[in-house]
Amino acid sequence: MLTSYFPLSLSCGILGIPKKLSTLPQKSLYFTLGHSLHFFRFFFNQKRLLALKPFPKNKRIYNDQRGVVTQAQASHIRGSSSSIRWLKRQQSDPYTRMAREQGFAARSAFKLDQILNSYHVTRAQLIIDLGASPGGWTQVLHRRFPCAHIISVDKAPMTPIPNTTQLILDFTNTNTPRIIGNILRDRKIDLLVSDMAPSFCGHKQTDHIRLLALAELAFEFGKLTLKHGANAIFKINRGGTESQFKLLLQQYFERVCYAKPDASYKDSSELFVVALGFIGRNRDDE
């Protein structure tokens, strides 16, 4: 009894919690203490962020846009001078600010918005958004095509968006296309977008191959599900094999172009392939 009570009253003293509280049942006191500790941890991390100091390993950290920085971002931020540059760029980036002001889940929303504007993609009723989390692209699609049915797929959870079927699935899993197929039944899609990106390991060639593999997988799915005349957008990056992917798409679409929207950082190798007017069969087979 004494041993379980002692640390409790000591903690109350340190945290300045009124003594009356210690008459509450122990469970609720631990609850209160837990919340106080969370507050101090949050406050401490905010201070670090503002001071742009490197974060120690295994700490939960916060950014100014979405609250919690993801694992991938966290590993990017930890310690190095490039991470501090990344944070500074995030803070001064106009698209990050605009995303926050306009209620987008991610700044990447503007990449899709700019591509759709440039290529005059104005109509779509059935849309598939692959790699949709946290939801920026789906939000753009929903705002542009409010009556469309959007199927969003990602390994990670995403922001709830109306008229959207959200599937938390790994697209590389062999069952995933079958599950999406069951939802589609016999309907064909008007627009397929893929912003899927693997967790980058830092080895450029490996990252390039992994990203292209996801885009190719998305295209293989598109071959079976796209409507005649449909459009598709795939995220890829520069690294050597992007032209082969473009050549492949040229066999299936009337027009295929690379796109580098303004919202995509100039110094990143990120690139998009815009494929317009799905023909529906390989020209080589004709």
Residue 156 binds ligand SAM (CB under 6 A): yes
Residue 49 vs 109, nearer CB to ligand SAM = 109
Among 17, 188, 198, 213, binds ligand SAM (CB under 6 A): 198
Q: Which is nearer to ligand SAM, 12 or 234 (CB)?
A: 234
Q: Which of 128, 132, 192, 274 binds ligand SAM (CB under 6 A)?
A: 132
133 binds ligand SAM (CB under 6 A): yes
Q: Is residue 227 annotated as a catalytic residue, yes or no? A: no
Catalytic residue among 188, 204, 235, 266: 235
Residue in 265, 279, 262 with CA at minimum distance from that of residue 118: 262
**Are the C-beta atoms of 196 and 214 separated by less than 8 Å?**
yes
x-marked contacts with ligand SAM along 84-123 as a string, rule CB under 6 A? ---------------------xx-xx--------------
Residue 119, classified by CB atoms within 10 Å of its CB into exposed (0-12), middle (13-18) or buried (19+), is: middle
Rule CB under 6 A: is residue 194 a binding residue for ligand SAM?
no
Residue of 131, 177, 222, 261 that binds ligand SAM (CB under 6 A): 131
Minimal distance, residue 88 CB to ligand SAM, in Å: 21
